[in-house]
Amino acid sequence: MTTLELAADETLHVLVPSRRLAEAVEELSPRVRARSWKPEDEPPHGEAAQAQVWVPSTRTAPEGLLEALPHLRLVQLTSAGAEGFAGRMPEGVVLCNARGAHTPATAEWVMAATLAAQRGLPFFVREHEARRWSFTTHRSLVGARVLVIGAGDIATTVGRMLAGFDARLTYVARRPREGVRTMSELPQLLPEADVVVLLVPLTPETTGMVDARFLAALPDGALLVNAARGPVVDTAALLAELTSGRLRAAVDVTDPEPLPDGHPLWRAPNLLLTPHIGGEVPETRERATAAVTEQIGRILAGQPLANVVGDY
């Protein structure tokens, strides 16, 4: 169990990305001193440079920041994804994520995108804009064979939501356990899937995992839903399948990201695309704030840290 021990009279200095979060943290105890800092600001100095805890607003540490915080002992993320920080912490600095803060909203996006793609809503929106009454039949989520790759918090929440659709659900993860199949079984599982949902962290093992061979194993008309990270999918391989009309996709993340003007994904058929907004609902900010304040409360109480991230 990992703890961040403080002396009885030691002040806890915290560097946070907003004044609102600084106020929430300081309300916990007179021992907490919080300073708002963003990457566009000058390097931390004075009390800010004494921070033992940093709450980033970025996906990676700005160059030179960690060196500017000699007392740093904890980097507390407000996201579940930690790939920009994992394995890059200086000696003695612990990395923790905000597991659960984005779970309800991201799972909701998966359901919304899957339902929209299955029922052809993007097509009907385009027809609406063109003022065409185009009566056609699309697919259904009810009773569909859904393969969820990943078995963490978001994946299990998606599973509970899918239960109301009588979907035939299969989980796949790196470590097999009861109710979860192993990645080595994908060649047998992919040809039976109507929908594949990606909910894995970005690691060396998952980067490019969804390549041409992976996609070729899916049956005609299958739907790929990516709520993980863009580089999990080989963009060129996905484009080839979408352009041929053999597969469909709903993605909230891309590689590259943000998607530049003129990129062929903008024009790809059979694609529902959103700009990495899966977790972006007002309640997510409240949950992220709660994750940070609860962690600071643990430190003050001498309790083990929550959601410690190991090297990916």
23 given a catalytic annotation: no
Inter-residue contact 225 to 113 (CB < 8 Å): yes
Q: Which of 276, 280, 294, 298 is catalytic?
A: 276
Which of these is catalytic: 257, 267, 283, 286? 257
Quick one: which of 274, 253, 236, 237 has its CA closest to 112? 274
- Residue 195 contacts residue 168 (beta carbons within 8 Å): no
Sheet holding 74-76, edge to edge: 32-36, 12-16, 53-54, 74-76, 94-96
CA distances from 101 to 84, 105, 144, 294 (A): 18, 9, 28, 12
- For residue 191, the SS3 value is helix
Q: Which runs of consecutive H residues, i.e. helices, occur in the chain?
A: 19-26, 103-118, 121-129, 153-162, 186-189, 212-216, 235-244, 282-301
Dihedral of alpha carbons 88, 92, 98, 99, sign: positive
Element (H, E) at 173: strand 168-173
| Contacts made by residues 130-138, CB under 8 angstroms, sequence distance 24+ | none
Active site (annotated) includes residue 229 = yes
| Residue among 35, 73, 102, 229 flagged as catalytic | 229
Q: Is 276 a catalytic residue?
A: yes
- Would you please indicate which residues are annotated as catalytic (active-site) residues? 229, 257, 276
